Amino acid sequence: EVQLVESGGVLVKPGESLRISCAASGFSFSYSWMNWVRRAPGKGLEWIGRIKSKIDGGTTAYGASVQGRFSISRDDSRKTMFLQMNSLQIEDTAVYYCTTEPLIDAAYFFGSWGQGTLVTVSS
Amino acid sequence: QTVVTQEPSFSVSPGGTVTLTCALRSGSVSTSYYPSWYQQTPGQPPRTLIYNTNTRSYGVPDRFSGSILGSRAALTITGAQADDEGDYYCVLYMTSDISAVFGGGTHLTVL
């Protein structure tokens, strides 16, 4: 069974940095593309970004609102993905979800989801 | 910047049928955008319903179906149930850079 467990969400002040994690189990993590998606209070879901598997180049891509401030990395030996968030703003307050991107039938979509971790940015 | 639009809200009677749509502010949605659909109920993570336009995710009942209707992607729920109430999101992929864009979401009420 696929399991994704996010952790590391806390209360931080504007301008600070934070790294959150997603621990994976139940599937071949090293071969998987992984994503971060967030939902801010009162708003809809927003794609944060993706990291491809190393075999596919390990490259990253980001949504416009976080480009240049957030970065995604992975440690395949620990089956864990990370989201480094710098220069956090109040608008970054959200529940952050990690998701798989299974690429079944060569289609792009989000497969399994974690339960999410809450990041609160407030002074 | 690509904008994906959905109806902000919809209401359906129990047992009824509803079709939610997903459009591009500029252009038509086709299968090349790999439309997918997600349901989120309060306090829960999103759940994948449909991918690749019309393929149901594992365990999703067949009363959920996806299609292209005209220039939009569509999610049809047949025989709506009370626990279908929640927020529904479509995602389109911009294959130029394989970026994902969420629609604004549709809040579905079943009453």
pLDDT of residue A103: 83
What spatial distance separates the first Cα and last Cα of chain B, rounded to whole Å? 36
Contact A30, A76 (CB under 8 A): yes
Which residues are CB-contacts of B59 (< 8 A; sequence separation ≥ 6)?
none
pLDDT tier at B95 (50, 70, 90 boundaries)? confident
Q: What are the structure tokens assigned to A99, written together?
A: 């998701």
* Residues in B touching A112 (Cβ below 8 Å): 48
pLDDT tier at B1 (50, 70, 90 boundaries)? confident
pLDDT of residue B97: 81
Tens of pLDDT along chain A (123 residues) come to 999 999 999 999 999 999 999 999 999 999 999 999 999 999 999 999 999 999 999 999 999 999 999 999 999 999 999 999 999 999 999 999 999 998 887 789 999 999 999 999 999
pLDDT of residue A106: 78
pLDDT of residue A91: 97
Cβ <8 Å between B45 and A116:
yes
Please give the distance of CA B82 from its chain centroid, rounded to a whole number: 18
Tokens 């971790």: give the residue. Answer: A117
The rounded percent of chain B whose pLDDT value lies above 90 is 93
pLDDT of residue B12: 97
Return the residue in A3, A34, A37, A45 with the most chain B beta carbons within 10 A, the one to mutate for interface testing.
Answer: A45
pLDDT of residue A38: 98
Nearest to A109 among B1, B45, B52 (CB): B52
